[in-house]
Chains A and B, each alone.
Chain A
Amino acid sequence: MRFWISLSLAWALLAGAALAQPLPIRLDEAQLSVTIPQSHDSQDAPRELGRQLLPWKWDQNFPRQQGVMHFKLDVPIEQTLLTQLKADGHQGLGFSSLQMGNRYRYRINGKAWHYVGWNQPNTQFRTGPRWQLLPAHDLQAGANILEIDIRAEPASNAGLARIELGDEFTSLAEHEREVNHRKGLALMSGTLSALIGLMALALWWQSRDKAYLITGLGQACFVLWQVDFFVDYPPVPTWVFNGARSAMYTYYAGLMCWVSVLLVRKPAPWLNRLLQIYLWTALPTLAAGAALQDYRVYERLWIPASLLLGAVCMVRYTHVMWKKSDGTVRLNALLAGVTVAFGLYDLVVTFSPSGFGKANLLNYAFLFYNFAVGMMMVRNYWSMQNRLLRVRYESSLKVKQATMIERQRMMQDIHDSVGSQLVALLSLVKSSAPQEVLQTHTSEVLDELRIAVDAIENVDGDLAVVLATMRHRLQPRLDAAGVSLVWEVDALPRFELLTPKDIQHIQRILLEVFTNIIQHAKATRVVFAAHCELPDDAEDSPEKTDQGRKRVIRVSISDDGIGMASAITRGRGLANMQSRAEMLGATLAVVAGEPRGTAVHLAIPLH
C-alpha cells in the first residue's frame, strides 16, 4: 500500500515536473514608452515607441538627453509554475538582466514599486548585471505585466538588456557568478597593473628612461579605469565619472602604443605624429563630449581610434619583435597581437545590438598583455644592467691600459732626465765641486722634475694653461736675470687631443727659448704672445675655410737681446727644437727681431 502511494506521488511529481513551465523564461521584447522632460517643471506626456527588441540602448536613440524609459513586458506564467513555487516554498521568481540601468524601479501586475537607486543623485549602474526578486504573491496565472521604469542619464550606457526569469536560487547563483567573475577579473588585472606600474615608476626613478615612465602612467590609467567596476554611486556627477573613465581607457591605450613605439627603436615619424595627435586631441574632445553629455565621441571616435592605432602599433611591434629570437620578446609580441584581435572582436560585438551588457573579451587580453609588459620591462632592465656592467668593465680595462702606458712614459722620463742628472750631481758632490755649481745643478734637477710633474697635470686640453704654467715656473728666474716679461695670451680654443707627450714638447721648446734668453741673449724685455687664428692659405680658398676647424695656435716670443748671434741658432738647441716641433706637427721659425733681438714663432695646428 505504502509502495503504491509513494509510487503515485513520485509519478505525480514527475508528471508535474514534466508539465510545469520550463525555466528560465526569456524576454526579449517589450512595449516601450519614454518621457523626456523638456524643462524642469513641465509634466511631459510619455511618447509611445511601440514594441521594441531588447537589448535597448538609450544613448543610441536619445543621445545627450535625460529621460525615463517605461518598459512593459508580458510574462506568461502557467498555474503549474505557481503551484510548483508554493510547493517548493520559494518566495518568488528571480529575474536578471546583464544590463539594467541607470536607476530603476519595477513592479509586477500593478502592485507596489520596488526601487533600486531610484533617488540616488549619481549612479553607475551600467556595466554590472542585475538581479531582482518577483514575489510569488504578486504573480498570477496567465498573463502578467512586468513594468520597469528606468531613469536614463545621458552618456551613461543606460538601457535594458534581455531579461531572464528563473528559479530564485539558480538564477541568483548564476547572477552572483557573473558578478564575481567580472569583479574578480577587474580586481586581478587592476592589482597586477598597479604592481607593474609601481615597478615601472621605480625603474624610471632609477634609470630616467622615458619608456618606464610612460609604462607607469599607462598602467596608472588602467588601474583607475578598473575602479569603474567597483563603484555604484560615485561621489561625482555621473557624466564627470564617465568622462574620466573614458579618458583613462583612451590614455591607457595611447600610452601603451607609445611604449611599443619606443621599444621598437625604429624611427617612424608618421606614427609619432599620429600618436601626438591622438594624445593631444583625446583629452579636449573627451572632456567636451563628457560636458555635452554625449557618449558618442568616446564610443564612435576614441574606442575605434584606440583600437586602430593599437592595431597599427602592435602589428608593427609584433612584426619587429618576432624577428628577435627571444622567448620573452616573442611572447610579448604575441600577446600584443592577441590584445588587438580581441579588441577588434569587441568592437564588432559592442556595435552589434546583441552585445549590450556582455563582458568584453578585451578585459582578458588586457590582463595578459599587462603581464607581458611587466615581463618585458624586467627583461629590458636586466639587459640594460648587463650592458652597463660590460661597458664599465671595458672602460676600466681601457683605463688600466692607459695607466700602464702613462706609467711607462713616466719611467722613461725619470730615467732620461732626472735620473741621469742626479747621477751627475752625485759625481759633482763626490768630486767636491764648488758650492755654486752644486746649487745650480740641484736647481736644474728640481726644474726637470717640476716640468715632468707639470706635464702630467690634467689641463683639459687648454694650451693657455700649459703656457701659463711654464711662465709660473720661469718667472723667478726671469726676475733674477732682470728680464721683464710682457704677457699677451688670449683665451685659446680647447685642444682635445693634447697628450702629456705634446705638452712636454711644447715645454721643452719654450724652456730652450727662455734659457737662451736668460743665459745668452742679454735681453731686458721679452714679449710672449699666443693667439688663435685661421691659417693664411685658408683665406684664398673657400673650401678650406669651410672646414674652418683647421685653426692654428700661434705662439711668439720676441726679445730685445743681441739677436741672431746668440746661441739659439747654434748647436743642438735649434735642431732639438725643430725636431720637437715636427713631432708636434707644428712649424717653428727663428727670425731676427724688430728692431733688434730674436723672434721665435711656433705655429701649432689644432687637429
Chain B
Amino acid sequence: MKITFVDDSPLMRQTIGHVLAQGFPDAKITSFETLGAALVFAGEEEQDHWLIDLGLPDGSGIDLIRQVRERFPLTHILVITVFADADNIVNSIQAGANGYLLKEDMLRAQSLTSSIEAIREGGTPLSPVIASRLLARMQMLDAPAAVKNEASRQRQASAQPAPPDAPAHGLAPREIELLLLLSRGYTYQEAANLMKVELGTVQTYVKRVYIKLAVNSRTQAIFEARALGISL
C-alpha cells in the first residue's frame, strides 16, 4: 500500500507520519511539505491514499487534489483539516476529494486507520453546514437544467405522462431528502431510519452526491456568477 500526505507543519508531519506507520505497518509512506514538490510527485506515481492539507505555503491543496484526480481516477483522496469549514471542504469535493479527516482524529493510530477505512467504505460524515452548502450548490448548478426539464415536461404534458428522470447531473429526490436531514443535524443512522433505508444506502447517496458535484465542477463559473448576483 502506498500513502502520501502533505502538511506544512513539521510537528504535524512528524505526528501523522508516526501514526500512519503504526496504523499501516506495511505501507510505503511519503510526505511533502510544499505544494510544488507534491505536484511533481503526483504526476509520477500512483498512490492508494493521498492525505492533503489545504493551506500550504506555496498554494492551495485544492490544485493538488484536482491534479491527482485527473491523473488517477481511482486514488482515494482525503483532505486533512482542523475546522472542516464548509467552503474549503465543498471546493475540495468539487475538485475530486473523497472526504475529509479532522486533524484531531489523526492523533491516534486506531482512530486514524478506522476513519480512513470507514471513509473508503461509506464516505465522510457530512457536517450539517457542508450538507446544506452541497444542497445549495447542486441546486444552483441544476437551475438551468431544472427549468429546461420543467419546460419539456409541460410540452409533453398533453401528449404523454412526464418521464420521471432527473436532470443528468442533478440530485435525485432521495438525495435531496438526505441532504436536508443531514443539514438539520441528523446522523447517517437517524437519517436512514427516517428514510426507511439501510445505512449503506445512505452512504451510497452521499458518495453519489460527491461524484455529481465533481462532475458539475465545469459549471463552477456559472455558479459563482449567480452567487454574486451577476446576470449577463
Interface residue ranges, A against B (CB under 8 Å): 206, 208, 446, 449-450, 453-454, 457-460, 462, 464-465, 467-472, 475, 487, 489-491
Contacts and interface: CB of A to CB of B under 8 A. Distances in A.
A468 B104 contact: no
B190 A487 contact: yes
B85 A457 contact: yes
A454 B130 CA distance: 11
Given A446-B104, A469-B129, A462 B85 contact: no
B157 interface: no
A453 B128 CA distance: 14
A469 B128 contact: yes
A422 to B, nearest CB: 15
B167 interface: no
Given A459-B132, A469-B129, A487-B190, A450 B83 contact: yes
A468 B86 contact: no
A197 to B, nearest CB: 22
A208 B231 CA distance: 10
Contacts of B129: 454, 457, 459, 465, 468-469
B183 A462 contact: yes
A208 B136 CA distance: 27
B55 interface: no
A489 B185 contact: yes
A468, A469, A490 — most chain B CB neighbours (10 Å): A468
Contact of A467 (B182, B185, B231): B185
Contacts of B232: 206
A475 B104 CA distance: 15
A464 B183 contact: yes
A458 B227 CA distance: 13
Contacts of B83: 449-450, 453
B185 A487 contact: yes
A453 B185 CA distance: 18
Contacts of A489: 184-186
Nearest to B190: A487
Contacts of A457: 85-86, 129
A449 to B, nearest CB: 8
B211 interface: no
Contact of B132 (A446, A450, A453, A460): A460
A468 B128 contact: yes
B180 interface: yes
B136 A460 contact: yes
Contacts of B115: none
Contacts of A460: 132, 136
Contacts of B182: 468
A448 B231 CA distance: 40
Closest A-B pairs by Cβ, 10 of them: A468-B185, A468-B128, A471-B185, A464-B184, A453-B83, A489-B184, A457-B129, A465-B132, A472-B127, A465-B128
Contacts of A471: 128, 185
Contact of A465 (B104, B183, B190): B183
B132, B136, B187 — most chain A CB neighbours (10 Å): B132
B5 to A, nearest CB: 21
A453 B85 contact: yes
A258 to B, nearest CB: 24
B197 to A, nearest CB: 18
Nearest to B104: A446
B85, B183, B185, B187 — most chain A CB neighbours (10 Å): B185
A459 B132 CA distance: 8
Given A468-B128, A491-B180, 7 more contacts: A446-B104, A457-B86, A464-B184, A464-B185, A471-B128, A487-B185, A487-B187
Given A457-B85, A472-B185, A489-B185, A462 B180 contact: no
A243 B185 CA distance: 69
Contacts of A464: 128, 183-185
A513 to B, nearest CB: 15
Nearest to A450: B83
A469 B127 contact: yes
Contacts of A475: 187
A471 B185 CA distance: 7
Nearest to B183: A465
A353 to B, nearest CB: 56
Interface string B179-202: 010111111001000000000000
Given A450-B83, A457-B86, A468 B136 contact: no
Nearest to B125: A472
5 contacts: A453-B83, A460-B132, A467-B184, A467-B185, A489-B186
A465 B133 CA distance: 10
A203 B232 CA distance: 12
Contacts of B190: 487
B214 to A, nearest CB: 22
Contacts of B187: 475, 487
Contact of B186 (A208, A453, A462, A487): A487
Interface in B121-161: 127-129, 132, 136
B118 to A, nearest CB: 15
B85 A468 contact: no
A442 to B, nearest CB: 10
A467 B182 CA distance: 12
Contacts of B186: 468, 487, 489
Nearest to B129: A457
A459 B128 CA distance: 10
